[in-house]
Amino acid sequence: MLIQQNMDLKEKLAILADAAKYDVACTSSGVERKGRPEQLGSAVYAGLCHSFAADGRCISLLKILYTNQCVYDCKYCINRRSNDVPRAAFTPDEVCRLTMEFYRRNYIEGLFLSSGVLKSPDYTMDLLYQTLWKLRHECGFNGYIHVKAIPGADLILIERAGLLADRMSVNLELPTAEGLKKLAPSKDRSRILLPMRQIQRGIAAQRQGIVPYRREEKNVPYRWARQFVPAGQSTQLIVGATPENDYQMISVAEALYKNYDLKRVFYSAFVRVNDDSLLPALPGGPPLLREHRLYQADWLLRFYGFTSGELLSESQPNFNIFLDPKCDWALRHLDLFPVEVMTADYYTLLRVPGIGVRSAKRIAAARRSGRLDFADLKKMGVVLKRAFYFLTCGGRMMYPVRMDRDHITAQLLGEEKRRAWDIGQKDSYRQMSMFDDGFLNPAPTAEDRSAAILGQM
Amino acid sequence: MTIFTCADTFEGILCGVYDAWTSRLGHENVCLELADTGNLRLFAEYRQVEEDPKKAAKVIEAIRKKAGQEVYERVYRASLSCEEQKADRIYRFLIYALYIGPEVVNMLQIPAVYELFRMNRFVANEALHMIEFIRFSRTDGGILFGTVEPRNDVVALMAPHFADRMNAENWIIYDERRRRAVIHQAMGEWIEADLPDDSFRQRLMDSSDQEEFENLWKTYHKHIAIKERTNPRCQMSHLPLRFRPHMTEFQERRAHSGGRAPD
């Protein structure tokens, strides 16, 4: 492992941002905190996105690794020990300076600090802790901090870092223990779940007021006392590196929400950065559509009152690539529809495709004072082209609709297919067709082209 | 039809509401318009609204008492809108609001309420976008200077956020379209001021030496994107092109006018 000693800050930033970008969690939400006099920073509950990168993902936090040196050799990871890539490490001062100066210019909402494992988990976690301490106490930074808990690190180090951070995360990476064993032989599922459980207990204890966590800082008013991980914890699952199906993924996510009180589970479409025989070849690029469907289902679990068993089952273990999970569910339960806008309760409204949390709340508030018709629903943000199959207003549907699964599916598909296509096959062109072939022929790949040229059809 | 023309300010519009309401001509026979909007209508009598803080205060009191703080805040935000009909829309909304009370904000099936809801949402969303996308540069003297070009007049909505967040900094948010700025002094209050002459801007930009961090930020912005996932359409829908001229990471080279490069 060779480090160039005289690397300047720009080179380091380039290397360590490159190394950090495959971690997807970049939200700054979950905690509302006012500014403090003489300090820099505040936090907004809903989070703020300060920019968007060329891949369309938001940039909310300065997402960097402390170092990309690592003692582990996880197959999927660009920073694994056996890769020959340039290595670098920040110093705590450099991280503080970058964070403060970027924050002041409103480039970022805070810091997301992760790291490869340098020497040992304890050593690494201590470096992260020292950096955070400096940032909070010497620089007076009061903005958002997301820090990784390094599995295997001493519990006291994790607890102390948690008192300085807003959110902590431990990446589960692969949903099953077998997958983890195969691709990350030096990691162990139980060692990942241990800090997760510890953080959960710390948050719960604080919520119930059992632990006097607040004596970290002296001479500070009570309302400014630091809390333990106030924005909750999150984790990440890699999609498509191992053969787990969607049902397994979503069940794991549901269990994490239920048993570990996680705020978020993030899904990261697998990008093949290493050539390794154990990794799947992905000729079509990262499985973006699958990742998208998992996020849709994740929202259904957290905000719409669905359970994983309703969305998928052993017999139907993967999401429909043509229909979003909610439409798919509604079409399998046509006996529950149509529902009446004026009388259906909030949770029933939420289950109608085309109605989201906001529009359902608006409907519930507006209908108290008078009748609604379809034009009103449109104003409230209901996507009528999907919703009208499943709704009545004042006892009438918008158009006469045959409540037949195949019929409605065919109608919905036209629109959905186009959107699914855009996600799965972006930047490819579509041959206009006189016949409805579903527009599902993928663009020719490089191999197809060479085969066509060489006549190997 | 009697048309009351009022100034394009919160107080001006409220004075218009007061005059139109107390004219006793009937709601359907009056209309509010902003002064200097161009076209005059035939068969209409124009009346100039005289601004008087007392009139505005009376309307504010009536709104707060009968419809509550939430409605008052919404009316204020709607008055910052860039739409030409905003004065009349606020008037039509207040007819319902003062009659129904705080519940009115939920009654989106009433067209007048929906119009106000829509204006309020546009203004609030744009204020949030500006809070997210404004970029400051730092001058030698330690002043942070940021330029925005919002459609609606939202700088006053941005100020409390930054006054709380960066209370120990001197900063200026400059609205290039309206030539107005919010100025904050470290550990002090913020004020809103008209700045018709923008020569101060050149002086501020000349003295800033922040190329280092602007370059670092550009480097970071470039490297954080995953090449395999490149998706300009997704980026465009989250961050429309109209915001980009003032954002450091999308400026090709350092532009001295703060936003766009000089011609």
For all residues of chain A together, what is the average pLDDT?
A: 87
HSE-CB of A87 using CA atoms within 13 angstroms = 18
Q: Which residues, at least 6 apart from B43, have a Cβ–Cβ distance to it below 8 Å? A: B1
Tell me the residues of chain A between 215 and 274 that have a Cβ less than 8 Å away from chain B.
Answer: 269, 271
Low-confidence winner among A214-218, B29-33, B46-50 (lowest mean pLDDT): A214-218
Residue A418's H or E segment, with its range, is helix A405-424
C-alpha distances in Å from residue B146, one per residue of B24, B140, B244: 47, 15, 13
pLDDT band at A321 (very low <50, low <70, confident <90, very high): confident
What is the average per-residue pLDDT within A262-277? 91
Q: Do the beta carbons of residue B256 and residue A91 sit within 8 Å?
A: no
CB contact under 8 A, B167 and A35: yes
List the single residue in A56, A98, A376 with the smallest CB-CB distance to B238. Answer: A56
DSSP A107: S
ipTM: 0.90
What is the average per-residue pLDDT within A201-217? 70
pLDDT tens digits along A93-149 = 999 999 999 999 999 999 999 999 999 999 999 999 999 999 999 999 999 999 999
Quick one: pLDDT at residue B262? 39
pLDDT band at A411 (very low <50, low <70, confident <90, very high): confident
pLDDT band at A443 (very low <50, low <70, confident <90, very high): low
Quick one: pLDDT at residue A226? 76
CB contact under 8 A, B217 and A102: yes
Q: What percent of chain A has pLDDT over 70?
A: 88
pLDDT band at B64 (very low <50, low <70, confident <90, very high): very high
- Please report residues of A whose CB lies closer than 8 A to that of B164: 34-35, 42
Q: Which residues pair with A393 in a beta bridge?
A: A396
Residues present in chain B in total = 263
What is the residue extent of each domain of chain A?
1-169, 170-185+195-215+229-271+285-317, 325-392, 413-454
Low-confidence winner among A133-142, A262-271, A353-362, B200-209 (lowest mean pLDDT): B200-209
Chain B contact present for A378, CB below 8 A = no
- Please report residues of A whose CB lies closer than 8 A to that of B169: 40, 104
Cα(A167)–Cα(A231) distance, rounded to whole angstroms? 5
Tell me the residues of chain A between 71 and 90 that have a Cβ less than 8 Å away from chain B.
Answer: none
- Smallest CA–CA distance, residue A199 to chain B, in Å, is 28
Chain B contact present for A94, CB below 8 A = no
Residue A424's H or E segment, with its range, is helix A405-424
Backbone angles phi, psi at B66, to 5 degrees: -90, -30
> CA nearest A254: which of A244, A265, A245?
A265
Q: Is the pLDDT of residue A415 over 70?
A: no
